[in-house]
Amino acid sequence: MKLPIKQRYFDKIKSGEKKIEFRDAHITFICEETGETLVKYVRSCHVENRDKDCYPDVLNDNRMIVFYLIDKLFEG
């Protein structure tokens, strides 16, 4: 995951002073073939170990972020 960040926050994360990062709770997906976009809101997420058998060629890291997506910001 690559996230743009202002220099002052980058430096704080790099030094270990900043340990929590806040971002908007939505993801804009862009279809690689058609360019069509789709916005989904993130209801919650967690980090878990990657099952290499289930996702052998999709992810590179041994840990993955799992997002639970919803259509509306205040949905269930």
What are the pLDDT digits (tens) for 22-67? 988 999 999 999 999 999 999 999 998 877 777 667 777 788 889 9
Whether 2 maps to a domain, the answer reads no
* Domain of residue 62, residue span: 7-70
pLDDT recorded at residue 75: 57
Whether 34 maps to a domain, the answer reads yes
pLDDT recorded at residue 39: 94
Please tell me the distance from the alpha carbon of residue 76 to that of residue 26, in angstroms, as a whole number: 15
Whether 76 maps to a domain, the answer reads no
Domain count, the chain: 1
pLDDT recorded at residue 17: 97
Please tell me the distance from the alpha carbon of residue 47 to that of residue 71, in angstroms, as a whole number: 22
* Amino acid (1-letter code) at residue 14: K
